[in-house]
Amino acid sequence: GLPARVRIHEVGARDGLQNEKSTVPTEVKAEFVRRLADAGLTTIEATSFVHPKWVPQLADAEQLFPQIADLPVDLPVLVPNERGLDRALALGARRVAVFASATESFAKANLNRTVDEALAMFDPVVARAKAEGVHVRGYLSMCFGDPWEGAVPIPQVTKVCRALLDMGCDELSLGDTIGVATPGHVRALLTELGVPVEKVGVHFHDTYGQALANTYAALQHGVTTVDASAGGLGGCPYARSATGNLATEDLVWMLQGLGIDTGVDLGRLVATSAWMAEHLGRPSPSRTVRALSHQ
């Protein structure tokens, strides 16, 4: 059966904007997050406390976070290391995410570390966050395929998931960073993972048009946390072939049709993405946004 309710983990302001060619002004980002909250999203990933040279688009994290901190929603932020955690905690962040890789190639490209070195870098981050009562998400990228290494063997994924949970992560997000997964692969991974399904979120990119089908496969498996990006914004600067995330609107349209509650007002969300698309100067790739906003 399918779940009665799904928690959408909105990543548009982070995964969506981190790869934009033009720099989005901090005020526009703050307005974006406020409008997402107003549309009923309750978990809105806000930004990343990473090295500003690695992701210049999110270099304004210190300016942005205080502008949205009063919103009555969860505002998780990415932190790669203790320096990032210090910056996030100094601003009062209560939810952080570390981001590991199932493959050596992406660990190197994204974090300048081997997989094990990256895990060693996260270990004190998670320990300190937990000691402060801060919720920790553990992302795992390249769970299905990798642009340099091809298909990723499931045991390789399982091993890093186990390490993230052992170090104390409260939840995992399984990333199909380059969007190559198909529903059969999703089912196989979730079946072999051996992790309580309440701790597992899914993070699909729509490169091959499979994100919704993959999500449906995950829901059938009992997953209730789904990452999505308003308007289908996104990509990863350190994975060439990564295009946009699953669009939140496409997800909400499907879930509404299935009678699954999300608490999201689709009209307000579409209006927000249409507004952002106008700001970015190109139409949203989301089919639902286009259908409902006459773009």
List the beta bridge partners of residue 288. Answer: none
Helix and strand totals (H; E) in the chain: 11, 11
Q: Which residues contact 283 (CB under 8 A, 6 or more apart)?
A: 277, 290, 295
Residue 229 contact among Mg ion, ligand HMG, none, beta carbon within 5 to 8 Å by kind: none
Given the rule CB under 5 A, which of 7-15, 43-51, 255-263, 268-276 is the region that contacts Mg ion? 7-15
Q: Say if residues 289 and 231 touch (Cβ distance below 8 Å).
A: yes
CA 20 – CA 29 distance, rounded (Å)? 12
Residue corresponding to tokens 């994100």: 211
Contact positions with ligand HMG (CB under 6 A) in 161-220:
175, 177, 203
Q: What is the dihedral of CA 62, 275, 180, 228, to 10 degrees?
A: 60
Task: Write the DSSP string, 65-133.
Answer: HHHHTTSSSB--EE--SHHHHHHHHHTT--EEEEEEESSHHHHHHHHSS-HHHHHHHHHHHHHHHHHTT
Choosing from 7, 34, 42, 51, the residue that interacts with ligand HMG (CB under 6 A) is 51
Choosing from 8, 10, 14, 15, the residue that interacts with Mg ion (CB under 5 A) is 15
Q: Does 65 bind ligand HMG (CB under 6 A)?
A: no
Residue 48 contact among Mg ion, ligand HMG, none, beta carbon within 5 to 8 Å by kind: ligand HMG
Site size toward Mg ion (CB under 5 A) is: 1
Residue 272 contact among ligand HMG, Mg ion, none, beta carbon within 5 to 8 Å by kind: none
Contact positions with ligand HMG (CB under 6 A) in 235-294:
236, 238
Residue 41 contact among Mg ion, ligand HMG, none, beta carbon within 5 to 8 Å by kind: none
Annotated active-site residue 161? The verdict is no
Judged by beta carbon, residue 79 or residue 292, the one nearer Mg ion is 79
Active site residues: 236
Residues that bind ligand HMG (CB under 6 A): 15, 18, 48-51, 54-55, 78, 80-81, 83-84, 87, 99, 110-112, 139, 141, 175, 177, 203, 236, 238
